Structure 1
């Protein structure tokens, strides 16, 4: 059986609305827009965690954070027992590769046979491929220049565009596609490190945005530090209008948009390469992001939670001539759906470890998602988001803390109704659903299968056939 290639294109910290196909008033992404027009786009897709490493592990394993056990960046090694999508596809004859930012610390069984990496956490002592490339060109000192870390990591010293992260990632991708084994299908993950900071735009970048001409998001009231789940990202708390003024925020956004357009340009070159090799129609392409960014919402930038700006991500599927194209899909989906959907498209069994859902019924029809809720989490907080409400609940060691928003009346999450008696029945129902989800999806290596009856979703890690 000739199975299709899989091309997973991931950007880092990319706000779901900062693409042309969503009607953004400023940022231009013609090649990403092309994928959306030719395929299926899910405008209500949510990631499992709002920072890089746990979200990427959830993408590649189809497991929620409390199941795979990874919550932070670079803290502890990722468990080798986790089954990744590339590792699984190797058993079906796929050659696997990753180009760009890996950010999977200590995961020896990630499953990528070939890699060319660029991120400082991907190799010790700056031994990764991109740094060595810059060193050969006498530019390596610019890699370590983060600029003004209190001001969007912007610097006056920029790497020439031909040596930029974006151009390097694109060239390395074309090299792999040129020299790959043409007799075997490939699973290739192109992982662009940006628009994650630093936001310094490469020198000579052909995509420049005028800060003064940008349209700022309408929800500009700064409230993020008031959240009970405020994410203190050190200097990133200063990446806002109240610290740097509107001019500073506009400068940061203009740089953010330039990097997105530069990435889009490289995606276009990859699509051209697939066309020239005659394999575009034999390649399933997924465009996504590991998580979002405030991107001007609440007059700030950077990460945080549990806001939609951080957890909603772009999620586009393209397979020329195969998928049902024609506008956005309505309804909720999750990034953990990637693994089981790829398996279904390839007609291979879905491992019992996968906790996402197969999206094939939505890819080949006019159906919208009927899913009632999505879930995401971090240490100390679990969130359920339905089409109408969002509830986040945590415990600080002494008392429960929570946020509850009526998204129909308050789509920008300004009015916390958690303690409102009028909405108490909704709160209690959502709390019960979080608990049900947590019990159903947790996977502690506990008793043998015969000694534990419920819930049926447990796969009993460490016992025979756990990954069957």
Structure 2
């Protein structure tokens, strides 16, 4: 890509670095390793070539996996964007900070939280965020420079205003409207009406160097170039909006996939392989998902897709094409690190906030709320690379989560943890990525208002919750709990909750959740519920 096309060069002047972290002045330090956290939105954990996927092409991410460390059992703490990201950047579970859905978060604990970037800034780091952040309050403090895809996150400089300056507001507006039916906020054409697209899928008219992924990448490349001779280490959150909907692939990448038919897969020079659980009966799914499966109206017209499976193939092929575009941008970042000689002192991490159904269970996107159990949405990719430092090709199958990234990055960079009146709730994976240390974790928990899921090595228990008045329309307890056995039911289509033989397993996993509730504070969730209840009473 051409940096002059984007006209977004970052000048590393004293003024540019005058931002002071809220937890203290930035000390002088010896050079610590740089960290680039490459973070896509809604990337299903097995949609990689190195995972043996029959279709998707990801040569650069495959190379990263081969040369680095891969965690095969990594999970988000809530399969919705904002709670997942807020948890990751604060190092606290969603229930503790109160982030259970995408509603704006104003709890006391998150206001006073010390974010990962603020903690690194206090340890001498320059901190950057390029692309969608989806953070609130204390979780979004501590950036030296930030430029978002979204106008509401970066009012002065953002992708939406920039793309208008390139004369391409209509092209991007049409992409955005595929899901929302109008142009995005942030430029003079905001709110312009334009038709939606079935399954939120429409091929983009933008050129490759004009996409949101190009925007985040070029800004990241500039940081690498400008820090080549700097004694100040940097942390860069390179955030890609894709493969999140609306699904707007570039023709270049969509043409790599035969979406005209089902077949043995792209890697066999055939049509897309049909997701194995795509035809699962809708009534077997939680109520909200079942209703979506039957709908023949609106954007997510899965009822129509069941009658015309070309709609499924359009969506799935577009999703793969967006992943392949991201892979190309990851390749650009690695190439620049090598070109500048920065690879030896830069840790690169790749992950995502949650997954996408990609046709599994006949579903599309993540279908937020009403469920929080399926592997397609809870499991996330997690890879670490540091040239010459981490064991190449090491795959770990222990249970880990996004909540572990904060303490892991702090330890890998030799940074001091911030002084707070709370402890980080994740664990450091530093000794695992450097020395293959085993992680002795019996279970992980992921939860939203509707459902909490306990994940173990062999089983998964989804517990339907009383969502309280804060989310009364998400009460699906009548549907009942869900139990899946990993070894015999990889695609999670057989709910074993009524199995007599597995009642001891259910009892054990239920006790794990009780232990989790006892150990992990829900003060933020309680505060949000109280505020919502008070607001409801006031309106009535």
Q: Does 1:170 align with 2:221?
A: no
Partner of 1:217: 275
Q: Does 1:49 align with 2:107?
A: no
Q: 1:346 aligns with which of 392, 413, 419?
A: 413
SS of 2:309's equivalent in the other structure is helix
Contact in 1 for aligned 2:349/2:382 (Cα 8 Å):
yes
Bigger drift between 199-208 and 435-444 goes to 199-208
- Distance in 1 between the 2:425 and 2:416 partners? 14
Q: 1:378 to 1:386 in 2, by over 3 A?
A: same
Q: How does 1:28-427 map to 2 (within 5 A)?
A: 28-77=57-106, 79-106=110-137, 109-123=140-154, 128-145=157-174, 146-147=177-178, 149=196, 151-155=198-202, 158-180=205-227, 182-202=230-250, 204-205=252-253, 208-211=256-259, 212=261, 213-223=271-281, 226-228=284-286, 230=288, 235=298, 237-239=300-302, 242-243=305-306, 245-304=308-367, 305-350=372-417, 352-396=422-466, 401-427=480-506
- Distance in 2 between the 1:238 and 1:206 partners? 22
- Distance in 2 between the 1:121 and 1:73 partners? 14
Report the Cα offset of residue 202 of structure 1: 2.9
- Distance in 1 between the 2:248 and 2:461 partners? 36
Partner of 1:464: none
- Distance in 1 between the 2:230 and 2:302 partners? 47
SS of 1:288's equivalent in the other structure is strand
Report the Cα offset of residue 107 of structure 1: 5.0
| Unaligned runs of at least 5 residues, structure 2 | 1-29, 180-195, 262-270, 469-474, 525-540
- Distance in 2 between the 1:199 and 1:373 partners? 34
Contact in 2 for aligned 1:151/1:244 (Cα 8 Å):
no
Contact in 2 for aligned 1:105/1:121 (Cα 8 Å):
no
Deviations 1:339-366 (A, max 9, x none): 1111111223445531111112321234
SS of 1:252's equivalent in the other structure is helix
Deviations 1:144-192 (A, max 9, x none): 3222646221236622222111222221222232334812000001000
Report the Cα offset of residue 31 of structure 1: 1.2
Q: 1:41 to 1:118 in 2, by over 3 A?
A: same
Higher helix share: 2
Q: 1:106 to 1:358 in 2, by over 3 A?
A: closer
Contact in 1 for aligned 2:95/2:523 (Cα 8 Å):
no
| Unaligned runs of at least 5 residues, structure 1 | 446-468
SS of 1:193's equivalent in the other structure is strand
- Distance in 2 between the 1:229 and 1:383 partners? 17
Report the Cα offset of residue 442 of structure 1: 0.9
Bigger drift between 32-41 and 104-113 goes to 104-113
RMSD, aligned CA = 2.6
Q: 1:50 to 1:109 in 2, by over 3 A?
A: closer
- Distance in 2 between the 1:318 and 1:344 partners? 15
Bigger drift between 170-179 and 434-443 goes to 170-179
Q: Give the TM-score, by structure 2 length.
A: 0.76
Q: Give the TM-score, by structure 1 length.
A: 0.87
- Distance in 2 between the 1:301 and 1:380 partners? 19
Report the Cα offset of residue 113 of structure 1: 1.5
Report the Cα offset of residue 402 of structure 1: 1.2
Q: 1:347 to 1:175 in 2, by over 3 A?
A: closer
SS of 2:463's equivalent in the other structure is strand
